[in-house]
Structure 1
Amino acid sequence: LRPGLGAGVPILDHSTNLPARVAARAKALRAEGVRYVSAPVFMGPANARSATGTMLVSGPRQETEAVWSHLAALTGTLVNVGERDDLAAVFKLAGNSLFFALSGAAADVFAIGAGNGVDRDTMLQLFEHFVPSPALVAKRVATSPTGPVNFELTMARKDTRLMLEAAGSVPTMLLPSIAQAMDRAIARGDGPRDYAIFACR
């Protein structure tokens, strides 16, 4: 690709990539006078066809501003996350990890239902009334070392045991690892602290 580029033609990278590779690539290409901008997307094929969804971009302001109008035409929401070359790549991987973690959590919700003879369609009714915010949960984890105690870890561990018992012979995906992490946190003396401390290493 590089040898065929005309003078002043930028490289816009929409792929999901390892942040370290993005940073190294940006540095190397910049030294050769080539503008390389990481712009990963949260978009499926339908979003790409209709220019909807979300695109992230990061890098030096002068370089991102030079391609901003072009990128904005390709997506519904374009977000500049900062001047670090690799920050958009970091956010993209983190965002995808949240999708996967929530999918695993949904599997455990269905397992608890299945262990008690409740089908998936019925279990989905839970989310008509209970919709926890991932952003609020993340903030709770981040502040758990110094934040208020609203739900003690020891009580949360008891509930986790009940969840696993309720699922019975139906395999769960995330709950066993969560239970182990809670046990480690309790062993180091965090039992009286807010439950989210188990996820704050």
Structure 2
Amino acid sequence: MRVAILGLGNMGGAIARNILKAGHDLTVWNRSPDKAAALVEGGATLATTPAEAAAQAEIVFTMLADDRAVEAVTFGEDGLLAADPLCLHVGLSTVSLALARRLAEAQGDRYVSAPVFGRPPAAEAAQLSIVAAGAPASIAHAQPVFDAIGQKTFVVGEDAPAANLVKLCGNFMIMSAIEAMGEAMALAAKNGLDKQALFDVLTGTLFGAPVYRNYGPALIEGTYRPAGFPAPLGLKDMNLVAEAATGARVPMPLLGVIRDHLLQAIARDGDDVDWSAIGKAIGDNAGL
């Protein structure tokens, strides 16, 4: 299958490598072309514009940082909509519900929302979980590529923003779990209890889910660099959750706490910390 991917960051680069491994004919584009060098050496073709990449593909995947980046490569000069002919566009990025709606309205059945759950190691191992929404035939057309990059595809309907809503809800719940674990560890440490002992008991009884096991070690050791998922992107996602909640008139008090802790972590420790660095913000506020 002729596939293009736009965006070669930690996630996009790993996804591109797995598409190549699966034997697909791959075209890549990135705002900084140097990130494509290894992929080109491995057999990918480098496009100079998003439109050029899309014109060479049956399916183009976008994996970009935010709404502005997705808007630029889709609607901008030499963007996807300038390609001839138009191909299927699969959006892997975490974007707002409003942008997902705009993308679907502009591209019709040629657009599928398919944000993913999984950090860069999962992307490298082709173990992402994919949440897809769009026309059934379009999702079926993309499924061979989904199989090359992920472990499971969850189809949540034909309305594209539904997939983005699932992703935003999931990211909110990840942050909520980190918040709760960070507060519990601060309480334990302030009372002289070893964080590792608390973690072993909790994950060995009621809280053995991957989210606790994956983020617990960072909270115990205070290691928030290198960032698997940078805190500014986490803040961007929580702002998107707030936007969706405001639009639907859904109070989310915990969301405000999480956003404040993300802002504190970024302000004190910089843009390069992981979103789990809210654990440090919690500890600092506890006087640890």
Structure 1 residues not aligned, in runs of 5+: 134-168, 173-201
Q: In structure 2, what is the equivalent of residue 130 of structure 1? A: 206
Runs of 4+ in 1 over 6 A off after TM superposition: none
Q: In structure 2, what is the equivalent of residue 84 of structure 1? A: 159
- The alpha carbon displacement at 1:54 in A equals 0.5
- The alpha carbon displacement at 1:3 in A equals 4.6
| Post-superposition CA distance 1:53-99 (Å, at most 9, x none) | 21110012222222222222221111111111111100001101111
SS at structure 1 position matched to 2:156: strand
Of the three residues 187, 192, 196, the one matched with 1:117 is 192
Q: How many residues align?
A: 135
- The alpha carbon displacement at 1:170 in A equals 6.5
- The alpha carbon displacement at 1:48 in A equals 1.9
- The alpha carbon displacement at 1:25 in A equals 1.2
Q: In structure 1, what is the equivalent of residue 286 of structure 2? A: 171
Of the three residues 80, 97, 110, the one matched with 1:19 is 97
- Relative to the length of structure 2, the TM-score reads 0.43
- The alpha carbon displacement at 1:124 in A equals 0.9
Q: Aligned runs of 1:15-94 on 2, under 5 Å?
A: 15-30=93-108, 35-94=110-169
- Relative to the length of structure 1, the TM-score reads 0.60
Structure 2 residues not aligned, in runs of 5+: 1-78, 210-283
Q: CA RMSD in A?
A: 2.5
Whole-angstrom CA distance in 2 between matches of 1:52 and 1:129: 26
Could you tell me whether the CA contact under 8 Å between 1:47 and 1:53 is conserved in 2?
yes
Structure number with higher relative contact order (C-alpha < 8 Å, ≥ 6 residues apart) = 1
Please tell me whether Structure 1 or Structure 2 has the larger radius of gyration of its CA atoms.
1
- The alpha carbon displacement at 1:130 in A equals 2.6
In 2 relative to 1, CA 3–24 (structure 1 residues): closer, same or farther, beyond 3 Å?
Answer: closer
